[in-house]
Chain A
Amino acid sequence: MRLLAAVLTASLVAGCASTAAQPAARPKNLTVLAASSLTEVFALLGRDFETGHPGTKVTFSYGGSSTLAQQIVNGAPADVFAAASPATMATVTKAGLGSGAPKTFARNTLVIAVESGNPKGITSLADLAKPGTKVALCAPEVPCGAAARTALGAANVSVQPVTLAPDVKAALSTVELGEADAALVYRTDVKSAGGKVDGVDFPESAKAVNDYPVVALAHAPNPSGATAFVSFVLSDQGRKALTAAGFQTP
Chain B
Amino acid sequence: MRRSVPPLLWAPGLLGLAFLVLPLVALVLRAPWATLPGRLVEPGVLTALRLSVTTASAATVLAVLVGVPLAVLLARVEFPGRRLVRALVTLPLVLPPVVGGVALLLVFGRRGVIGSWAGFSLAFTTAGVVLAEAFVALPFLVVSVEGALRAADRRYEEAAATLGATRWTVFRRVTLPMVAPGLAAGTVLCWARALGEFGATITFAGNFPGRTQTMPIAVYLALESDPDAAIVLSLVLLAVSVAILVTLRDRWLG
**B207, A165: Cβ atoms under 8 Å?**
yes
Contacts A136-B206, A163-B206, A179-B124 known; 17 new A-B pairs at CB < 8 A: A64-B224, A67-B224, A69-B224, A141-B221, A141-B224, A162-B123, A162-B124, A163-B207, A163-B208, A164-B206, A166-B202, A166-B220, A177-B105, A178-B110, A179-B105, A179-B111, A180-B124
Binary A-proximity of B110-126 (CB < 8 A = 1, otherwise 0)? 11000000000101100
**A66, B110: Cβ atoms under 8 Å?**
no
Binary A-proximity of B186-229 (CB < 8 A = 1, otherwise 0)? 00000000000000001001111100110000001101110100
Can you offer 23 A-B residue contacts whose CB atoms are under 8 A? A69-B224, A70-B227, A161-B208, A162-B123, A162-B124, A162-B206, A163-B124, A163-B206, A163-B207, A163-B208, A163-B212, A164-B208, A164-B209, A166-B202, A166-B207, A166-B221, A178-B109, A178-B111, A179-B105, A179-B109, A179-B121, A179-B124, A180-B124
Total B residues in contact with A, Cβ cutoff 8 Å: 21
Which of A67, A69, A139 is B207 in contact with, Cβ under 8 Å?
A139
B18 to chain A, nearest CB (A): 20
Binary A-proximity of B85-111 (CB < 8 A = 1, otherwise 0)? 000000000000000000001000111
Smallest CB-CB separation from B213: which chain A residue? A164
Which of B124, B212, B221 is A134 in contact with, Cβ under 8 Å?
B124
- How far is A177 from B111 in the complex, measured between Cα atoms in Å? 7
B45 to chain A, nearest CB (A): 16
Total A residues in contact with B, Cβ cutoff 8 Å: 21
Contacts of A180 in B (CB 8 A): 124
- How far is A180 from B123 in the complex, measured between Cα atoms in Å? 9
- How far is A161 from B208 in the complex, measured between Cα atoms in Å? 8
A-B contact number at CB 8 A: 53
- How far is A139 from B224 in the complex, measured between Cα atoms in Å? 11
Report which A residues bind B (CB closer than 8 A). Answer: 64, 66-67, 69-70, 134, 136, 139, 141-142, 161-166, 174, 177-180
A211 to chain B, nearest CB (A): 19
B235 to chain A, nearest CB (A): 18
**A177, B109: Cβ atoms under 8 Å?**
yes
Smallest CB-CB separation from A139: which chain B residue? B221
Which 9 residue pairs spanning A and B have beta carbons closest together?
A163-B206, A66-B224, A162-B124, A178-B111, A141-B224, A141-B225, A179-B123, A163-B124, A164-B207
A161 to chain B, nearest CB (A): 7
